[in-house]
């Protein structure tokens, strides 16, 4: 469908880019993107994807807005305290861009609903705050053959990865998925949460915006996909490092169906 005059004006800076242009903008308008978590990472990601003209954005979050969220969760305002995050973020995104249809899932993602929800989207952004949900999202994206953009933050450090886990390379080695980066759910209490350790608010904006950038690349085909790599960002030292993720043959999802162990998994230069 041709872009309207209003859309030509709204997305003019995209259309000027040869890597996106009119066809890329139309791909964005037709895209369906699911965001897991409407918090520190999901807020900037959702704002930039709505601004970019993504046609449908799904938001999964069962939490409500608290005053302590507002230091970093920029989709919400003080007046939204006590409101569900999906309702608050939906109002913000619709005010930003009426072209974008927002679908709210004010519920927790579970083994019972993950496949059904995720299979209805072209791309998933995971900005959740717990490892159980990360594994659930990863596995559902693998089964649905849906690209996954995964972000995480803690204190002054951020992490970004992209997975197209159903693909294989030239020698039929499976592409890596989140289980190749983190083979097993860490023991309870071994990784402090942001509530326990703190996090600088602007860091979530950096990683969330980068998640949106990778999503735009995946949708439009611009540039080189980051799939199979993880980017590590140290905000205190202003250092960024990108490393390749190595597929673990013992990966219980895409490997030889053995029990995943730390050996053979991880990253390589």
pLDDT given at position 256: 67
CATH, range 11-268:
3.40.50.720
Contact call for residues 186 and 254 (beta carbons, < 8 A): no
Closest listed residue to residue 59, CA positions, set 122, 107, 97: 107
Predicted pLDDT at 262? 35
Query: pLDDT, tens digit, for every residue of 23-80?
Result: 999 999 999 999 999 999 999 999 999 999 999 999 999 999 999 999 999 999 999 9
- Nearest Cα to 127, choosing from 149, 105, 98? 149
Positions in the chain short of pLDDT 70: 256-269
pLDDT at residue 260, as a whole number: 37
Sorted by sequence, the CB contacts under 8 Å of residue 188 that are 6+ apart come out as none
CA–CA separation, 96 and 192 (whole Å): 34
Tell me what percent of the chain is helix, strand and coil, each rounded to the nearest 5.
Answer: 35, 20, 40
Instruction: Give me the pLDDT at residue 269, please.
Output: 38
The residue ranges of every structural domain in the chain are: 11-268
The reported pLDDT for the residue numbered 74 is: 98
The one-character DSSP state at 122 is S
């Amino acid at each position: 469908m041709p872009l309207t005059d209003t859309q030509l004006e709204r997305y003019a800076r995209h259309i000027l880019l040869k890597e996106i242009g009119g066809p890329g903008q139309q791909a964005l308008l037709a895209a369906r993107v699911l965001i897991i978590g409407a918090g520190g990472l999901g807020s900037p990601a959702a704002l930039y994807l709505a601004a970019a003209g993504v046609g449908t954005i799904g938001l999964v979050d069962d939490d409500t807005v608290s005053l302590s969220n507002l230091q970093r969760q920029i989709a919400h305002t003080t007046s939204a305290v006590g409101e569900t995050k999906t309702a608050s973020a939906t109002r913000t995104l619709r005010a930003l861009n009426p072209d974008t249809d927002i679908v709210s899932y004010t519920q927790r993602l579970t083994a019972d609903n993950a496949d059904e929800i995720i299979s209805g989207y072209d791309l998933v952004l995971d900005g959740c705050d717990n490892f159980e949900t990360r594994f659930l999202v990863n596995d559902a994206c693998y089964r649905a053959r849906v690209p996954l953009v995964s972000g995480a933050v803690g204190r002054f450090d951020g992490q970004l990865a992209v997975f197209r886990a159903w693909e294989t390379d030239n020698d039929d080695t499976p592409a890596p998925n989140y289980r190749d980066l983190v083979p097993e759910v860490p023991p309870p209490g071994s990784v402090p949460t942001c509530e326990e350790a703190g996090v600088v608010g602007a860091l979530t904006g950096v990683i969330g915006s980068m998640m949106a950038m990778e999503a735009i690349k995946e949708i439009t085909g611009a540039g080189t996909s980051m799939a199979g790599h993880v980017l590590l960002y140290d905000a205190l030292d202003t250092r960024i490092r990108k490393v390749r993720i190595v597929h673990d043959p013992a990966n219980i999802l895409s490997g030889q169906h053995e029990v995943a162990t730390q050996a053979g998994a991880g990253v390589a230069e």
